[in-house]
Amino acid sequence: MPSPLETPTCRQHNMSTSAPLQGQVAIVTGGASGIGRAVGELFAEAGLAGLAVIDVAECDLSDLDAELVTGQFDVADADAVSGFISEVHDRFGRIDILVNNAGIAPVVPWSKVTEENWQRVLDVNLNGAFHCTRAAWDHMRDRQYGRIVNISSVGAFLGSVSAHPAYGVSKAGLIALTKSLAKEGAADGILVNAIAPGSIDTPMLESFGPEARVEYAEASLLKRQASPKELAESVMFLVSPASSYITGATLHVNGGALLI
Ligand code: NAD
């Protein structure tokens, strides 16, 4: 342990600015589409040694310049998650980064909420992140290095808008999980942060319909949607050396939506 007054050059990897993730291995969930795909694209440009993508949908990521492993399964399936993450570790010998991004936002009003659809939202959005984090954690701890980014939502702070009421609950749960694991991981070099996106132009947002898209864009100080790439840039920041003193934080990438 360094002295508290020592400013460490840090338990960081050597990283060049052109390839800030040189030699690292990242896992991104929900990487077939939207934000997750944009994260995979940026990571691939950053010199990763390996990129592992989990998605329940088929992934076509053949255009990415990365050593790629894909797992097509549900993040709510704890056994599938742990088997896949072991395989990723066996293949690359390390896991540096985990981005818990897979999520669903079904449009279900309170009057149509059932135990089953409530549970499904929590299983994917919150428990999926738990399963992936638990499976990657010991590999990070063993190397005393890890960066975990949980994709939450403004819904954690405002409550769900179009989406199922469990959506906001699951995203608020991710913020609490982020804080708990930041405390747990600090002594082992594992930094855990969250991002609260606002309105991002992805298939998920399209599913809310054209009127809702305009409404959400208007519900930010910047009066527009963000591109998936703008969101991915924030993920890149949280896994890069530039954020080496940040843990347990939530980065609000929502155009000031909480100030309206
Ligand atoms: P998207 O629908 O384009 O992408 C989500 C991806 O997750 C898809 O590829 C989907 O197949 C995958 N996925 C869904 N369920 C899965 C499961 N059970 N197991 C594995 N993969 C699964 O949506 P997006 O907008 O890119 O959303 C990414 C994340 O960002 C989500 O967690 C979402 O809640 C969050 N978010 C999005 C917005 C937005 O405006 N788009 C705003 C706030 C938060």
Average pLDDT on 135-153 reads 98
Taking the C-alpha atoms of residue 127 and residue 122, their distance in angstroms, rounded to an integer, is 6
Whether residue 10 has pLDDT greater than 50: no
| Cα-to-centroid distance, 37 and ligand 1 (Å) | 10
For a ligand 1 pocket test, name from 27, 28, 33 the mutation site with the most ligand atoms within 8 angstroms of its C-beta.
33
* Distance from Cα 9 to the centre of ligand 1, integer Å: 36
What pLDDT, on the 0 to 100 scale, is given for residue 18? 75
Say yes or no to pLDDT of 12 above 60.
no
Q: Is 197 in the pocket of ligand 1 (CB under 6 A)?
A: yes
At 8 the pLDDT is 59
Average pLDDT of the residues in 51-66: 95
Nearest CA to ligand 1 atom 3: 34
Q: Choose the residue to mutate in 202, 214, 231, 234 for probing ligand 1, maximizing ligand atoms within 8 Å of C-beta.
A: 202
pLDDT digits (tens, 9 = 90+) for 45-57: 999 999 999 999 9
User: What is the residue whose two structure tokens read 């989406």?
Assistant: 163
For the CA of 38, the closest atom of ligand 1 is: 26
Mind listing the pLDDT tens digit for each residue in 77-119?
A: 999 999 999 999 999 999 999 999 999 999 999 999 999 999 9
Whether 235 is in the pocket of ligand 1, judged by its Cβ within 6 Å, is no
What pLDDT score was predicted for residue 200? 97
pLDDT confidence bin for 3, thresholds 50/70/90: low
Residue 217 CB–ligand 1 contact under 6 Å: no
Q: What span, in angstroms and rounded, lies between the C-alpha atoms of 59 and 97?
A: 20
Q: What would the mean pLDDT of 2-20 be, rounded to a whole number?
A: 62
Sign of the alpha-carbon dihedral angle for 176, 241, 64, 139: negative
pLDDT at residue 16, as a whole number: 61
Q: What is the pLDDT of residues 171-228, one digit of tens each?
A: 999 999 999 999 999 999 999 999 999 999 999 999 999 999 999 999 999 999 999 9
User: Reduced to 3 states, what is the DSSP secondary structure of residue 151?
Assistant: strand
Known catalytic membership, residue 167: yes
Looking at residue 161, its pLDDT comes to: 82
Provide the phi-psi class of 18: left if phi over 0, else alpha when psi is between -120 and 50, else beta. alpha
> From the CA of 204, how far away is ligand 1's center (Å)?
6
Q: How confident is the model at residue 4 (pLDDT cuts 50, 70, 90)?
A: low
Is the CB of residue 33 less than 8 Å from the CB of residue 72?
Answer: no
Tell me how far the alpha carbon of residue 156 lies from the centroid of ligand 1, in angstroms: 15
Evaluate whether 164 touches 113 at the Cβ level (below 8 Å). yes
